Structure 1
């Protein structure tokens, strides 16, 4: 459960202008936590900040940052400044392409790696160091069911999500004993403006079983202390069509950590 004493007084949300990012910011404000709202477009951020201030009286800070740029992390860290960041949320990471890997210039995929891997790693290093020094905090990496395996039209996307899943599990094993929560959210298809734009551009109908962004925010915040993985639509001990449940992955992560102590030490 989100706790202002543990996960406040400030959160950083990368990908905050709409959809789940907007839902995260509003839920945090209701809990008394202000957010540093980060996305490429400034107006949706400022509109959201004003809406949150009107509804809750909580201050939010807006930063229009290109999340695809190689120096994204530098800008995020500079914006946070000396504020105490108790929660870092990586929420940017949809696939805007939906194309085969060879059909686009490699620069398009490098941009996705910058946004989906390199910037989050740099920010997790920075904010995670501060959180472990305080003995509290949380990191949420919003991912996708694409993490479970590759498929045509999303070779790079699924690879990025799979990397972040494994990174989150390892980071959880390292930081959880130091008081820092880490959670990777393997979401299903969620009803966001980005998804609606993508489906409209492809002239495709919306799926019937879309998850609600507000429900996603509530579930993730309820489960933040139950890392390292949340599988959307399934109970913690339910594997469904997957080889392993979230609880099973937790047990596996801890078991591998115990086994590798002989090699890496504590």
Structure 2
């Protein structure tokens, strides 16, 4: 009876491993986050770097989140699995497991728990993660392209870029129109009021000083700004905390309108930029925003 039960359990394990292997083998890349949720800092205890190293060791092409992605991955994010490491509670053991999701957020693989009895955090996390990776090693990963993944159409990408460019152009045109409207309001001639006689007071001869070059500075642009979610967008505050900007969502990803100003804030590469007109000159300033 025990032998039969053991055989059933072993068969289920083998079937699960084969299924996981068939799924994982269809993905070319693994993206490793720069911070795990159960830790306080990016790459704390070098655990994220260790995960990237261990994925590469098992034959995957591991990429750290936020780094430059290969061209085929930029065009088709479904070529990559997104990895995560989670911690389970335990009084005397550190327990970690590895989770892999596809581009739609569906879990493709979850490893059994890796464990360590070490008391020092760095050693405990290191050993528990290596223990969890033993189960991935058993899968014997080898990339095998899957037509359902590799054939995802990317021909619409240029069209999306064109649509984004057109909408940005429309936003800039709206900013110019708002600027012209404000200038027109200022230019309205008001009926002169009755002037009262002016008393001429002799003024002391002005002292000539060397001209001082004026520098335009946007408040908060050089400091770290923290994004706090509000209705229809975010407010960006400094460390005091003082609200520097209020930005509102648009139909474009990572593009916001600045509340009360004819300016926009958008993401350019890995940086955030505020764009506005100063006179007839279009200016850009980098923002250090933490979302």
TM surpasses 0.5:
no
TM-score range, shorter-chain basis?
A: under 0.3
Higher share in strand: 2
TM-score after normalising by structure 2 = 0.20
Which of structures 1 and 2 has the bigger CA Rg? 2
The TM-score, its normalising length taken from structure 1, stands at 0.21
